[in-house]
Structure 1
Amino acid sequence: MSRLNTNQLSLAYGNRNIVRELNLQVPDGLITALVGANGSGKSTILKSLARILAPAQGGVYLDGKLIHRLPTKEVAKQLAILPQNPSAPEGLTVRELVAFGRYPHQKGFGNLTSEDNRMIDWAIQATGMSAFGDRAVDHLSGGQRQRAWIAMALAQGTEVLLLDEPTTFLDMAHQMEVMNLLEKLNKEQKRTIIMVVHDLNHAARYAQHLVALKAGTVLYEGHPETVMTCDMLRDVFNIDADIIPDPRTGAPLCLPYGLVEDQESEASPSLVAANVQEPIERQRVQAMA
């Protein structure tokens, strides 16, 4: 089942085509990770799924309806997005930030209702930020700030969360802190989470569904154990790597050891996209088998 999907979606910035005829089904109740090299279209796709970027052709569908034709508040009640490197006004407290998540539900003068306050309290508690409710967001550590922003997204009360590189610029401990929180939200509350991830080992460990992109085209899609292969790493990232099972979780671990040096690595994105169109369906079937 998929509440959120695309149909022949093409995306562009001006005259520059980024994504072409994308057909993507986001599995409900799972963590989906979008992976790919820089410029592969990951963040662009996420923006379109969140109704931030309008399609050049095709469309994004939420519960069978074109998302770009739905009222903004209606969409905001069903999905929330956390962009890259969000910033809050100086001095804004965690509770004040989280309260912004209730905006889609407010009427009239926007006064907080008892339900709004209940959801704010719950979101702060769920993200482990109860001790920081009155603390200024700009006085928090990197991991704490990310948890505060995730709390704001949770306060929207949506079933779908979209996150663009949620661990960027965080140290290893804070990265695990954020990823463990997302895993908890997915397992305990069945939240559907779609996230752009640079760290392939994070993607394989925490996601149940991987989408590997190159030049705006899906090359591989499916469970991490079938997608995280040496062929995928060569085709998508132009690297040679060993894949071994994580000794603790069993998830595939990527150990890169070299770059693939061939003519394709020097090709333009448009030529790469043309070259991968023919085998895409075969690769997708293999990955999802």
Structure 2
Amino acid sequence: MKHILNTRNLTIGYDKKDIVNNLSIEIPAGKITAIVGANGCGKSTILKTIARLLAPKQGQVLLDGKSIHSLSTKEVATQLAILPQNPVAPDGLTVSELVAYGRYPHQKAFSTHSKEDYKIIHWAIESTGLTAFENHPVDELSGGQRQRAWIALALAQKTPILLLDEPTTYLDMGHQLEVLKLIKKLNEQQQRTIVMVVHDLNHATRFADHLICIKNGELYTQGHPIDVLSDQMLKDVFQIEASILIEPKTGLPVCIPTECIGEKNR
């Protein structure tokens, strides 16, 4: 069953300052959605609110038509998993021990892991290509391997919806590609709905099926990458002029920045 996730007239803020205003978006079920926009526009704030880590000032996050804030914590944890920015594991924790935490939402009080839990833990580790490292401490892995371990933790929750907050932050180009290809593979093979905040616009256009573009806390546009990426969007949202090319191997648009409008107007 594919679950429907959307927001309705969402306003989010801290103290008296509103960060996101009147946001209504639809998340395509079974697809990869990337939230893009300039630094500070509210991307991570939106993702945290969808995950119920933040409460909105106004509006609702709806999961299958029900307000996500009306559901129990355990019920939410069995429907969606979130990987925050820069998660840190305790020193010495192994990959298998980390991934095991993903089974807690499915356990009864004071119960231990079942045979089914262990089966899912091993499946999540195998799905992320970490079988050879399952007994290795997480803090001894490479950056890309560590990020895969955290994704395995999220997979072990066995949720139909996966939320990722800038999953390639601080990774080099090779590890970025490694993680993004894994995300694409998980979506294609398991039909999971994946929503990720993406810093690199070219990564978003290549790996996402749907883009949600945010400007100053409001929806600027949304749709397929080839429809969203335009000269005007790049000027309005990112304050740049750029050449937009079609990458011959994928047939998807790529932007090459040529000038910063902010600097040009100084």
Query: Aligning the two structures, in what range does the TM-score lie when normalised by the shorter sequence?
Result: over 0.9
**Stretch of structure 1 that moved more, 246-255 or 142-151:** 246-255
Q: CA deviation at 1:52?
A: 0.2
Equivalent in the alignment of 2:214: 213
> In structure 1, how many angstroms separate the alpha carbons of the residues matched to 2:151 and 2:111?
22
Is the 1:2–1:26 Cα contact (8 Å) retained in structure 2?
no
Q: CA deviation at 1:110?
A: 3.1
> In structure 2, how many angstroms separate the alpha carbons of the residues matched to 1:200 and 1:7?
25
Superposition map of 1:1-289 within 5 A: 3-261=4-262
- C-alpha RMSD over aligned residues: 1.5
Is the 2:4–2:29 Cα contact (8 Å) retained in structure 1?
yes
Q: CA deviation at 1:75?
A: 0.3
Runs of 4+ aligned residues of structure 1 deviating over 6 Å after TM superposition are none
TM-score (norm 2): 0.97
Is the 2:147–2:179 Cα contact (8 Å) retained in structure 1?
yes
> In structure 2, how many angstroms separate the alpha carbons of the residues matched to 1:115 and 1:13?
42
Q: CA-to-partner distance for each residue in 1:88-146, whole Å, 9 max, x for gaps?
A: 00000000000000010011313001111111010000000000000000000000000
> In structure 1, how many angstroms separate the alpha carbons of the residues matched to 2:8 and 2:235?
28
Is the 1:2–1:27 Cα contact (8 Å) retained in structure 2?
no
Question: Which residue identity lines up with residue 161 of structure 1 in the other structure?
Answer: L
Identity among equivalent pairs (%): 59
> In structure 1, how many angstroms separate the alpha carbons of the residues matched to 2:214 and 2:73?
28
Q: CA deviation at 1:261?
A: 3.9
> In structure 2, how many angstroms separate the alpha carbons of the residues matched to 1:202 and 1:118?
33
Segments of 5+ residues of structure 1 without an aligned counterpart are 267-289
Is the 1:35–1:211 Cα contact (8 Å) retained in structure 2?
yes
Q: CA-to-partner distance for each residue in 1:61-108, whole Å, 9 max, x for gaps?
A: 111111011100100000000000000000000000000000100113
> In structure 1, how many angstroms separate the alpha carbons of the residues matched to 2:87 and 2:18?
26
Question: Which residue identity lines up with residue 115 of structure 1 in the other structure?
Answer: E
Segments of 5+ residues of structure 2 without an aligned counterpart are none
Q: CA deviation at 1:192?
A: 0.5
Report how many aligned residue pairs link the two structures.
Answer: 265
Ranked by relative contact order (alpha carbons within 8 Å, sequence separation 6 or more), the top structure is 2
Question: Which residue identity lines up with residue 150 of structure 1 in the other structure?
Answer: I
